[in-house]
């Protein structure tokens, strides 16, 4: 079983990987939004419901895909979009 700190570290590492495609370019936005990769950051409590490194990567990939499909840069801010995904999935 992964500890919260291991999950946080993997999330930070995954978000810091070089971009391989357009969707990956949004990892930087997510990284900047989270900013504090410590167990004190309440934004990271969603990781308590994730049980594997693969699930963390899937979560990031799903958020990046959702940004591409549904984000309206004229009607909302990227940080609001990411926050809503964190809160409501």
What is the reported pLDDT for 31? 97
The two tokens of residue 30 are 């997510």
What is the reported pLDDT for 23? 92
Cα(11)–Cα(57) distance, integer angstroms: 7
What is the reported pLDDT for 32? 96
Cα(29)–Cα(83) distance, integer angstroms: 11
Task: Provide the 10 A C-beta neighbour count for residue 24.
Answer: 15
Q: In terms of Cα–Cα distance, which of 12, 9, 21, 8 is closest to 64?
A: 21
* Per-residue tens of pLDDT for the chain, all 89 residues: 899 999 999 999 999 999 899 999 999 999 999 999 999 999 999 999 999 999 999 999 999 999 999 999 899 999 999 999 998 87
Q: In terms of Cα–Cα distance, which of 58, 37, 61, 40 is closest to 49?
A: 58
């Amino acid at each position: 079983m992964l500890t919260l700190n291991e999950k946080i570290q993997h999330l930070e590492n995954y978000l810091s990987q070089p971009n391989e495609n357009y969707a990956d370019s949004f990892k930087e936005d997510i990284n900047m939004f989270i900013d504090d990769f410590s167990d004190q950051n309440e934004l990271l409590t969603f990781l308590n419901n994730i049980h594997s490194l693969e699930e963390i990567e899937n979560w990031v990939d799903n958020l990046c895909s959702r940004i591409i499909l549904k984000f309206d840069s004229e009607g909302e801010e990227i940080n609001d979009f990411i926050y809503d995904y964190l809160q409501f999935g």
